[in-house]
């Protein structure tokens, strides 16, 4: 049996600010992100297996992505922890807001790299992360492919 790719899509709302950026995105703002997660593997051929015919149960993939990405980033504000936004972040945290202090500038490009690491660490051995697509707006997105990152 051949390799099959399956994709699960997720939505979450996240705010961020790009410190040092020369445009409007230097201001705190938010996006309705759409994340497409595509994994690749061989469907289970054991007819006695409860997941027979599946590469991975969509519910299992959902659990991984929800725990690692959606639950963390939904309705959070992301700042680079090495910028002066840390003062604003600490103020927001003290007022009970969900703030993520990332090791990177929170662009879609860097977020998708971060997401790839988190998801790959949780996938079963026989399943590989094929690609991620993080859509920031209806017309703008960043993509990560395993084949580009070997």
Average pLDDT score over residue span 86-103: 95
pTM: 0.95
The active-site residue out of 29, 49, 75, 97 is 75
Q: Is 29 a catalytic residue?
A: no
- Flag whether pLDDT at 72 surpasses 70: yes
Q: Is 85 a catalytic residue?
A: no
pLDDT at 63: 98
**Range with the poorest average pLDDT among 1-5, 44-48, 65-69, 93-97:** 1-5
- Flag whether pLDDT at 1 surpasses 80: no
The active-site residue out of 25, 31, 109, 143 is 25
Strands of the chain, DSSP E: 4-16, 29-41, 76-80, 99-102, 128-137, 140-145
The strands making up 76-80's β-sheet, listed across from edge to edge, are 99-102, 76-80, 4-16, 29-41, 128-137, 140-145
Structure confidence at residue 150 as a pLDDT band (50, 70, 90): confident
């Amino acid at each position: 049996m051949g390799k099959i790719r399956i994709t699960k899509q997720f939505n979450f709302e996240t705010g961020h600010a790009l410190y040092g950026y020369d445009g409007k995105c230097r201001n705190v703002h938010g996006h309705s992100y759409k994340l497409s997660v595509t994994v690749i593997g061989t469907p289970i051929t054991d007819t006695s297996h409860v997941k027979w015919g599946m590469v991975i149960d969509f519910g299992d993939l959902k659990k991984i992505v929800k725990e690692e990405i959606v639950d963390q980033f939904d309705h959070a504000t992301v700042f680079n922890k090495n910028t002066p936004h840390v003062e604003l972040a600490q103020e927001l945290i003290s007022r009970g807001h969900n703030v993520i202090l990332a090791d990177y500038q929170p662009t879609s490009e860097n977020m998708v790299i971060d997401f790839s690491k988190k998801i790959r660490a949780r996938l079963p051995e026989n399943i590989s992360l094929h690609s991620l697509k993080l859509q920031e707006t209806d017309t703008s997105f960043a993509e990560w492919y395993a084949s580009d990152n070997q």
